[in-house]
């Protein structure tokens, strides 16, 4: 699928800037999704490309974008405030170019930063979709990243691999989901944090595309 390169303005106390984006408008679009990358990959990662292309083919318009640290060529995420400001810029871009309800989605870090932005009132999407929510660093369930989630009133979808070390023990993750106002989980049987399944190796492009029906249905219903 072809995507249009766009620039997304990011306002910050540290100085205004902009970041790269890829806009794919679906024919007869039935929903819009803003799709953020994870901490270790940019918006052109095959997983996101596969998901975006499949969503567009299913009638869902998609805006992919990068966070400022990726735009600057750095590998490690910067302050959370910069990610929140980026999500605010994404919302403003959509309001101008594709007004209407939209769903904020993201792989791991990108989804978590969307939830932070939403809980702080910086953005107001219709729903949030997490593609592997990083509840805590692997092996560190004592460091949860969930205190803000119960304050979010809009629907939240957690797409999670059963063997994802970022959400084990599963009982802790279950308690977090139960604490949310409107949340559901879609499990990927045998999946890890990248939704890979041991013994069933598939390209990341195919894995991403395989999640499109779940994300698309959720976005249309939000």
pLDDT digits (tens, 9 = 90+) for 165-198: 999 999 999 999 999 999 999 999 999 999 999 9
Task: Give CA–CA dist 213/222, Å, rounded.
Answer: 14
Cβ-Cβ contacts under 8 Å for 6 (sequence gap 6 or more): 20, 21, 22, 23, 63, 93, 97
Cβ atoms of 10 and 18 within 8 Å: the answer is yes
44 CB burial (10 A radius; 0-12, 13-18, 19+): middle
pLDDT value of position 57: 97
Domain definitions of the chain by residue range: 4-221
Task: Give CA–CA dist 111/36, Å, rounded.
Answer: 7
Q: Which fold has domain 4-221?
A: Rossmann fold (3.40.50)
DSSP code of residue 191: B
* Residue numbers in the chain where pLDDT is lower than 50: none
């Amino acid at each position: 699928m072809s995507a249009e390169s766009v620039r997304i303005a990011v306002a910050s106390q540290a100085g205004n800037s902009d970041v790269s984006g890829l806009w794919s408008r679906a024919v007869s679009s039935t929903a819009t999704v803003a799709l953020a990358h994870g901490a270790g990959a940019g918006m052109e990662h095959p997983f996101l490309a596969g998901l975006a292309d499949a969503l567009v083919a299913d009638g869902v318009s998609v805006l992919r974008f990068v966070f400022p640290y990726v735009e600057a060529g750095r590998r490690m995420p910067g302050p959370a405030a910069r990610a929140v400001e980026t999500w605010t810029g994404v919302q403003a871009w959509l309001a101008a170019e594709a007004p209407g309800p939209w769903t904020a989605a993201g792989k791991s870090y990108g989804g978590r930063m969307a939830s932070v932005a939403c809980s702080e009132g910086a953005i107001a999407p219709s729903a949030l979709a997490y593609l592997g929510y990083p509840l805590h660093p692997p092996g560190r369930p004592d460091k949860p990243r969930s205190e803000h989630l119960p304050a979010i009133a809009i629907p939240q979808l957690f797409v999670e691999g059963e063997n994802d070390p970022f959400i084990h023990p599963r009982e802790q993750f279950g308690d977090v989901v139960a604490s949310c106002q409107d949340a559901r989980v879609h499990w990927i049987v045998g999946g890890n944090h990248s939704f890979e399944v041991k013994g069933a190796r598939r390209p990341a492009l195919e894995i991403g595309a395989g999640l499109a029906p779940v994300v698309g249905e959720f976005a249309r219903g939000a």
